[in-house]
Copies of this chain bind each other. A is one copy, B any other.
Amino acid sequence: MKIPFNKPYISAKAEEYMTEALRSQRHSGNNAFGQKAVNFMKQKYGFNEVFLTPSCTSAMEMGALLTGIKPGDEVILPSYTFSSTVNAVVIFGAEPVFCEIDPNTLNIDASKIEAHISPRTKMIIPIDYAGISCEIEQIMDIAKRHDLIVMQDCAQSFGGYFNGKPNGSIPHLAAFSFHETKNMNAGGEGGGLVVNIPEWHQKAYFMQEKGTDRRLVLDGVKSKYSWVDKGSSYLLSDILAAALLSQLESEEEIISKRKQVTDAYYKLFSIFKKKGNLNIYSVKNHIRTNHHAFWVVFDNAGTRSLFMEKLRAFDIFVYIGYMPLHSSPMGAIFGYKPDSLPITEAISERVVRLPFYAGMADEGLNYTIEKMHLVLSEIYGK
């Protein structure tokens, strides 16, 4: 049996909706299914406004443009994240300022953000690793005191909550990923930008529509649209929005299946946690996970390799997670060295992300747990 790292879940209605979108002959962005998906999210999660985009990366770029980011601006973010978090501001000439992570969540350590603030700081981009929210209220407090913008990279955390509030509803801006590796999949590629500042909505409509005021024409306010701002084609095909809607409507089913995976991994690793001196993520009471992922930090890189190799022999594919940005070739260009962020560097050499997808609950979870139990027993003893 082969257990891939990820396998997208196909909702029952996906084909029907996508076919309907295709046949409508109106399947470019912001058409019927896109509007339905946006309304669904606004009603269920209380987002102020949502823009569906081709990817989370492009949602982040749209958010960055919306803030008026410019060369020389500094942006504080964790180094332990995907390249899109940083490139979304670097392509516009901004400079990354990397902050250490909290070993309990691998999210940005909010207590260390303030030390990085300079007169050039423009924004903070925390991420929600593995679907567990960052300490967003503490980060918003810091931002408020220093007049900074917070764009929460919720690539992994759609459907989770912080203090009872849906992820994405608290910061100024939030970006979601609907890539096929995520809980909710918009036909392979897709994203969404939440804009919680009403004064920014019109500018966001313009930016999404290639920097034109086409929105005013659609609203009947103007008869011709023209070039009024920077912008791009931050639009999601209605066929992909149709796939997304089918997933949004299946959220309870998807989450319930994913919860079975979380529970099984927790049960397994609680047996070996102490023996192996393993660090497993913990979820505080005020945070609700969306069951996106499961990670384990081993006591050293050698054990991690051993664990991975032994699982590979059973056709089980685990994943090392991110290569930290600060110690990458681009990090070096911005003046960072591997030891600039020792906590991030040390953890990244020992972390493993386990196979995780909704379908595992139906097929593969028992096999995976059984083989992992075997492997961990071989490494740490029964």
Contacts and interface: CB of A to CB of B under 8 A. Distances in A.
Contact of A57 (B19, B87, B232): B232
Contact of A227 (B93, B230, B323): B323
Interface in A253-288: none
Contacts of A83: 210-212, 226-227, 231
Contact of A228 (B230, B239, B328): B328
Interface stretch (A23-31, A99-107, A132-140, A310-318): A23-31
A237 B189 contact: yes
Contacts of A211: 83, 87, 330
Contact of A232 (B14, B22, B58): B58
A14 B10 contact: no
A225 interface: yes
Nearest to A56: B233
A125 interface: no
A88 to B, nearest CB: 8
A144 to B, nearest CB: 29
A8 B29 contact: no
A370 interface: no
Interface string A314-346: 000000100101001111000000000000000
Contacts of A243: 22, 239
A123 to B, nearest CB: 17
Interface in A52-90: 54-58, 61, 65, 71, 82-84, 86-88, 90
A241 to B, nearest CB: 9
Q: Which of A61, A190, A240 has the most CB of B within 10 A?
A: A240
A69 to B, nearest CB: 10
A86 B7 CA distance: 39
A38 interface: no
B71 A93 contact: yes
Interface stretch (A145-153, A179-187, A360-368, A372-380): A179-187
Interface in A27-56: 27-29, 31, 54-56
B27 A19 contact: no
Nearest to A357: B25
